[in-house]
Amino acid sequence: MLLSSLVKEILLMSNVLEICKNARKASYELACTSGPRKEKALYKIAQKLIENQDKIIEANKIDLENGRNSGLSNALLDRLALNPQRISDMAKGLEEIAVLPDPVGEVVKMWKRPNGLEIGQKRVPLGVVSVIYEARPNVTADVAGLTLKSGNCAVLKGGKEAIHSNLAIIEQIKTALMEEGIPEAAVQLISDTNRETTLELLKMDEYIDLLIPRGGEGLKKLILENSTIPVILATAGNCHVYVDEYADIDMAKDIVINAKTQRPGVCNAVESLVIHRNIAEKFIPVIVKELDKFGVEMRVCDATMDIINRQKMAVNGKVASASEEDYGTEYHDLILSVRTVATFEEAVSHINTYGTRHSEAIVTENYERARCFHEGVDAAAVYVNASTRFTDGFEFGFGAEIGISNQKLHARGPIGLEQLTSLKYIIFGDGQIRS
């Protein structure tokens, strides 16, 4: 790949401390940048991505070839791959972010004290947000868009699997920023992908306000054990669909198939199917036949296996007995654990025991069951009669998201613009002094 002068500059600049200092300095200017200027810059980034998509795809081919040679799974290769449609989606996401209401400067509330002081709360940027991620180059554009719109500087560290793709994307982002007069340090990529550089970054609490990891459990464990920066986890997704006894069978079939097979390598794909026993005799033959068409391997409980055997179902794919480990596994593959339960309460208990508090769904025509599921299931996103695949910043109308948090402090669910702001108190007086 022929390297541009800007890419060479990024490669040479791998000093973590210098990058973080530059980000902190730029964050003060960016916090005061007007909404229209930020909007214009976002449109320019989107334009650059489309105009230079051939260059980005050529860089991505290098990463894909290296990934295949190093034994990356099909799911990770799918996350890594870029094509004209995915680049178009990245650009559209940036354009959607551009037209969203700017959260910065919003006065959330205002009240007046007896002494005449007017006190309010106003949204402000967090400052500097760092995101550490693995084989997903689209994250580079998503994070740049969301941080820029919300007035934050971004310090990015992608994995070695996507380094060529990330460099090609960051080149277009920086070119757009420079052309629009936005500080170049508003979006920076640490090009050194070594673990030691990550450990150094985790100690930059003097300059970085928030750290968001997007990757496997190993990366998250490393960050939680070593970071001195506040962390929001972009969580794993052991997601469930529960087919209630009052479910419409055709609807349930369509939702399960979509949630499992539409894109199995992502965190909002369903990994476990839970079925009420009062509908199991009718539903299991339907869903097993359909899952088999899509090549889904099933890991099933004894009750489910008994129905499959008694009905002498012809299955081309593999059906095996589920272990305890299967129920807690995020497969990122065409594998699904299946359990038949005796009661609604048992279904909720199963989901709360094995789920990762990401996205859970119930299929039911019973309003009371739907309401109880909403209240009883502990997850960032809880669906009634819809696929879990919608837990996504783009689908929620955020344009994109930095990650999906299962935590309960500050941000939960897709992390969009509002979640990248804080509040400051603003006080207006006319000479008051405290006695």
Q: What would the pLDDT profile of 348-386 be if each residue is shown by its tens digit?
A: 999 999 999 999 999 999 999 999 999 999 999 999 999
Q: Specify the pLDDT at position 8.
A: 53
| Residue with more model confidence, 316 or 265 | 265
DSSP SS3 for 270: strand
Residue (of 133, 129, 257) closest to 204 by Cα position:
129
Q: Specify the pLDDT at position 11.
A: 53
Looking at residues 252-263, what average pLDDT do you find?
Answer: 96
Q: Specify the pLDDT at position 318.
A: 87
For residue 396, being part of any structural domain is answered with no
For residue 315, being part of any structural domain is answered with yes
For residue 107, being part of any structural domain is answered with yes
Q: Specify the pLDDT at position 14.
A: 62
Cβ–Cβ < 8 Å for 294, 262: no
Let me know whether 89 and 212 are in one domain. Answer: yes
* pLDDT tier at 406, thresholds 50, 70, 90: confident
pTM greater than 0.85: no
Place of tokens 């699904």: 336
Model confidence at 12: pLDDT above 70: no
Number of domains in the chain: 2
Let me know whether 290 and 408 are in one domain. Answer: no
Burial class (CB in 10 A: 0-12, 13-18, 19+), 433: exposed
For residue 297, being part of any structural domain is answered with yes
Let me know whether 412 and 357 are in one domain. Answer: no
CA distance 423 to 419: 11
The CATH number that applies at residue 339 is 3.40.309.10
Let me know whether 355 and 283 are in one domain. Answer: yes
Model confidence at 317: pLDDT above 80: no
Q: Any idea how long the chain is? A: 435
For residue 433, being part of any structural domain is answered with no
Q: Specify the pLDDT at position 2.
A: 53
* pLDDT tier at 397, thresholds 50, 70, 90: confident
| Token pair for 354 | 């094995």
Looking at residues 259-268, what average pLDDT do you find?
Answer: 92
Looking at residues 327-348, what average pLDDT do you find?
Answer: 95
Let me know whether 306 and 324 are in one domain. Answer: yes
| Residue with more model confidence, 228 or 318 | 228
Residue 291 structural domain: 239-390
Question: Taking all residues of the chain, what is their mean pLDDT, rounded to a whole number?
Answer: 92
Model confidence at 401: pLDDT above 90: no
CA angle at 427 for the pair 421 and 430, rounded to the nearest 5°: 160
Let me know whether 101 and 250 are in one domain. Answer: no
> What is the spatial order of strands in the sheet that 381-384 belongs to?
319-321, 297-300, 335-341, 270-276, 239-243, 359-363, 381-384
Let me know whether 101 and 149 are in one domain. Answer: yes
Let me know whether 99 and 202 are in one domain. Answer: yes
Let me know whether 331 and 424 are in one domain. Answer: no
Q: Specify the pLDDT at position 74.
A: 84
Let me know whether 91 and 156 are in one domain. Answer: yes
CA distance 250 to 383: 17
Q: What would the pLDDT profile of 175-218 be if each residue is shown by its tens digit?
A: 999 999 999 999 999 999 899 999 999 999 999 999 999 877 78
Model confidence at 329: pLDDT above 60: yes
Let me know whether 195 and 289 are in one domain. Answer: no
Q: What would the pLDDT profile of 92-136 be if each residue is shown by its tens digit?
A: 999 999 999 999 999 999 999 999 999 999 999 999 999 999 888
| Residue with more model confidence, 240 or 403 | 240
The CATH number that applies at residue 176 is 3.40.605.10
Q: What would the pLDDT profile of 78-88 be if each residue is shown by its tens digit?
A: 889 999 999 99
Cβ–Cβ < 8 Å for 153, 191: no
> What is the spatial order of strands in the sheet that 210-214 belongs to?
187-189, 153-157, 128-133, 210-214
Which region holds residue 276: left if phi is over 0, alpha if psi is between -120 and 50, else beta? beta
For residue 311, being part of any structural domain is answered with yes
Model confidence at 10: pLDDT above 70: no
Q: Specify the pLDDT at position 219.
A: 86
For residue 374, being part of any structural domain is answered with yes
Let me know whether 328 and 189 are in one domain. Answer: no
For residue 397, being part of any structural domain is answered with no
